[in-house]
Amino acid sequence: MTDTAQIPLFPLNVVLFPGGPLPLRIFETRYTDMVRHCMREQSAFGVVLIRSGGEAGAVAKTAEIGTTARIVDFSQLPDNLLGITCVGERKFRVLTRWRESDGLNKAQVQWLAPEPAIALPPDTRHLSAILRKVLPELDEVYQHVEKHFEDSAWVGARITELIPLELNDKQALLELNDPLERLQRLAPMIKRPDELV
């Protein structure tokens, strides 16, 4: 898959995976305008990890691989900020980037091929069991996320979101296109239920 597109970029201190949840509080004008445009056009925006710089103002450097986010819900928050709920869609590679006059970051991106659908290997089933137990407790965050407990890519992505890893380590796991390799890296970090005794 080598097609390209021009999309708005939202650099964040977050690594978003396809199918993953992303709740955001929007307060900068450039991003409220972007959200309004995305909702009107039913389009997505790109999320990329900030390598250096802050979420507000100018961003010096971001990761090259990111994920598009689609807005699935919104609300007015008690502090009068706009709250949006997004779900990750597809991975992309940033080819070129620039800033518009209103400060919005934009990029020409190349779409990356979706990860193959591979059944969960037997030696990683404990990861799926953990998700079946934990996700209902996080329903407010995960209510818009489709559940695929037998899919290797889906399970690996959800485990990566939930465990306390450095953002650069999460980014490295996002950049893998082999769901089984991601699971092999994650499995040793998570104890099986029979190891907790």
Q: Are 87 and 145 in contact (CB under 8 A)?
A: yes
d(CA 57, CA 50): 12
What's the whole-number average pLDDT of the chain? 91
For position 27, what pLDDT does the model report?
A: 87
Q: Which residues of the chain have pLDDT under 50?
A: 1, 196-197
Tell the burial category of 151 from Cβ atoms under 10 Å away from its Cβ (0-12, 13-18, 19+).
buried
Provide CATH code, domain 4-111.
Answer: 2.30.130.40
Tens of pLDDT, residues 43-90: 999 999 998 776 566 656 899 999 999 999 998 888 878 899 999 999
d(CA 91, CA 69): 10
**Where are the domains positioned within the chain?**
4-111, 122-191
- Alpha helix (H) residue ranges in the chain: 29-41, 125-134, 139-142, 152-162, 167-175, 179-186
The type of residue at 4 is T
| Total residue length of the chain | 197
3-class DSSP state for residue 194? helix
Cβ atoms within 10 A of the Cβ of 122, count? 7
CATH superfamily assigned to domain 122-191? BPP1347 like domain (1.10.4060.10)
For position 197, what pLDDT does the model report?
A: 36
